[in-house]
């Protein structure tokens, strides 16, 4: 079955760039996602990328997809304290399945 893996923790200094990495196993993934979850809140869709793309940029966020290596990354430029949260990577398989398979989440801590 599908599997999505992320490192559990990342700490960066305010103003630096953060890079959160994710690997997945399903080669038939159609979409890959990054969600942000702040304490006590639901999931906020940050960005998503179609599997035939290799990069997507949206303001401070850059998503890179290496389909050959099944590797997805999220770069946050000029990281701020408000970026501290858990970031979930997720993938959607092709076919009739509509579910998302989530990684375990990466806790990003932004240090002053």
Q: Which residues of the chain form contacts with another protein (CB under 8 A)?
A: 30-31, 33, 35, 40-45, 48, 50, 88, 92, 98-100, 102-105
Site of tokens 């990354």: 73
Alpha carbon of 110 to those of 36, 81, 82: distances in Å?
14, 5, 8
CB of 69 to another protein, least distance (A): 22
Which of 16/48 has CB closer to another protein? Answer: 48
Say how many residues make up the chain.
112
Which of 76/89 has CB closer to another protein? Answer: 89
Which of 21/102 has CB closer to another protein? Answer: 102
Residue 4 pairs in a beta bridge with 24
């Amino acid at each position: 079955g599908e599997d999505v893996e992320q490192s559990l923790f990342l700490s960066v200094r305010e103003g630096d760039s953060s890079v959160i990495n994710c690997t997945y196993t399903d080669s038939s993934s159609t979409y890959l996602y990054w969600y942000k979850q702040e304490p006590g809140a639901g999931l906020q869709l940050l960005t998503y990328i179609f599997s035939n793309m290799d990069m997507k940029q949206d303001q401070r966020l850059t998503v890179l997809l290496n389909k050959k290596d099944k590797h997805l990354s999220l770069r946050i430029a000029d990281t701020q304290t408000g970026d501290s949260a858990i970031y979930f990577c997720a993938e959607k398989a092709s076919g009739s399945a509509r579910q998302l398979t989530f990684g375990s989440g990466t806790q990003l801590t932004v240090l002053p």
